[in-house]
Amino acid sequence: MDSNDIQWHPAFTSALKLELADYLDYLEFTKEHPLSSKPLQIDVVVIKKLKEIKILKNIAEIFKIYNIIEYKSPEDYLNIDDFYKVKAYAYLYKSVDRKVDEIKLDELTITMVASGFPHKMVVELQKAHQITFTKISDGVYQLKNNDIDSQIIIVDELPKEQNRFIRILTKKLKIHDEIKNLLHDYNNDPKESNYAALLHIISRANLNQLLEVYKMAQTLTEQEKQALSEIMLKFNINKEYYEEALNKGKIEGKLEGKLEGKLEGKIEGKLEGKIEGKIEGKLEGKLEGKLNILLKILHKKLGVLPESIITQINALHDEVLIDRVTDSIFELNSLEDLKKLINHP
C-alpha cells in the first residue's frame, strides 16, 4: 500500500472536530482558506471562534479568535521553512482582501502539528530569533518571543485519556485502546462522518493494529462481534489487508512459494470470474449465506482458491465448523493451514 495515497489532512480535520466536540457551536472550521480572488490558498485548517469563550482542552487552550493550524502527516516532519510558511499564511490571512488592521495580530494564533518533536527547527529558531519553547503539558509546547502566539503539538506525546482521536493519526504508537473506543463510537453512531473518516485512515495506515483488535474480539458478545464484522466489511478491511500483502509479494510473509509466485498472475481473468460466480450464484439460505461470506473472505485473505478447496468448503454442512473457520480467518497463513482446519476440526 502506497502511504502517499493516504488522505491524512481530512482525517486530521475530523479528529480536531471530535476533540473539540464540546465547543463546535462556537467554532467555525475552514479548510484551504481563499486568500484573494486569485487562486491563492493555504493548505491549513483555520478555526474561527464565533464567541469569546475559554476552551478547556489541552490542544486548544491557546486559541483566540483566528487560529491557523498546520498539520504534518506521520511520514513528514516540521522544519524551519514550515515555521516561516505558516507565519506567512498568518500574515496573509490577516491582511489580504480585508480592511486595514481589521484583524489584530493579537487575535491570531498558530498551531503546528507533527508526529515527532522538531529538534532541528527548535535549535534554528532559538539561534536565529531567540524563540524558546516551553512544555505546557504532554505533547503541547508553546513558543515564547514570537510575535504571534504559537504552539507545537506532538501527536505521539499526547495523552490517550485526553486526545484519543488525534492519537489515531500515527504509524508508531500502540493504539489498540483508541481503536476499540472508536469502533464502539462508530457502532453507536454510524452516521457520524468523522468517525468514518478516522476508521478509513486506520484501515489504510494501521491495518495490523486494527486486525489485532478484531482478533481480540472473542471476548465480545455475539451482537458486538456481528457489529464489528459489519464495520470490517463496510470499510473493505479484508480487501485492504489482501491488497497490501499482495503488493509486497506475499500474504503475511508465510504463503508457500508456489502459491506466492502465481498469485498475481491468477488474480484476474477466468478463474477469478469462476470463483465469484460460485460464491454469488450457488449458495442460498442461512447455511449457504455463511459459506458465501466465508468464501469471499478466504479469497481476499489467501488469494485464488483451488477448485478442490472451493468444492470442499461448499460441501460443508456443519454450521459449527463453518463458524470456527470464519472465526479463525486471521490465523490462517496458507492454504495448508486451511486444509488442516477443514479436515481436522
Mean pLDDT of 1-25: 84
What the block records as the C-alpha cell of 149 is 502566539
Q: Which residue has the cell 513558543?
A: 143
Predicted confidence band at 265 (pLDDT cuts at 50, 70, 90)? very low
Q: How far apart are CA 117 and CA 247, in angstroms?
A: 32
Residue 274, pLDDT > 60, answer no
Q: Are strands 149-154 and 108-114 parallel, antiparallel or unpaired?
A: parallel
- CB contact at 8 A, 20 and 36: no
Q: How many helices (H) and strands (E) does the chain have?
A: 14, 7
Kindly list the distances between the CA atom of residue 290 and the CA atoms of 279, 301, 319, in Å, as whole numbers in the listed order: 10, 16, 8
Residue 222, pLDDT > 50, answer yes
Mean pLDDT of 42-57: 89
Q: How far apart are CA 44 and CA 112, in angstroms?
A: 10
DSSP letters, 34-78, are: B-SSSS-B--SEEEEESS-----STTTTT--SEEEEEE--TT---
Ranges in the chain annotated CATH 3.40.1350: 3-168
- Mean pLDDT of all residues in the chain? 79
DSSP letters, 181-202, are: HHHHHHHH-TT-HHHHHHHHHH
Residue 210's nearest CA partner among 186, 188, 191, 182 is 182
Taking the domain 3-168, which CATH number applies?
3.40.1350
- CB contact at 8 A, 167 and 178: yes
pLDDT tens, 67-108? 999 999 999 999 999 999 999 999 999 998 889 999 999 999
Among the ranges given (43-47, 126-130, 176-180, 219-223), the one the predictor scored with the smallest mean pLDDT: 219-223
- Max avg pLDDT among 9-18, 133-142, 239-248, 308-317: 133-142
Residue 293, pLDDT > 80, answer no
Q: How far apart are CA 84 and CA 64, in angstroms?
A: 20
- 66's CB contacts (< 8 A; 6+ apart) are 46, 48, 49, 93, 94, 103, 107, 108, 109
Chain CA centroid to CA 157, Å: 18
- 61's CB contacts (< 8 A; 6+ apart) are 54, 55, 136
Residue 310's nearest CA partner among 270, 339, 341 is 339
Q: How far apart are CA 140 and CA 153, in angstroms?
A: 5
Q: Which residue has the cell 458486538?
A: 224
- Three-state DSSP state, 132: strand
- Strand spans (E) along the chain: 27-31, 45-49, 66-71, 108-114, 132-137, 140-144, 149-154
- Three-state DSSP state, 127: helix
Q: How far apart are CA 200 and CA 218, in angstroms?
A: 23
Q: How far apart are CA 220 and CA 161, in angstroms?
A: 23
Packed helices 193-205 and 207-215: angle between N→C axes, nearest 10 degrees: 100
Q: How far apart are CA 1 and CA 19, in angstroms?
A: 28
Residue 185, pLDDT > 50, answer yes
Among the ranges given (84-93, 145-154, 253-262), the one the predictor scored with the smallest mean pLDDT: 253-262
Chain CA centroid to CA 226, Å: 22
Report the predicted TM-score, pTM, of the whole model to 2 decimal places.
Answer: 0.66
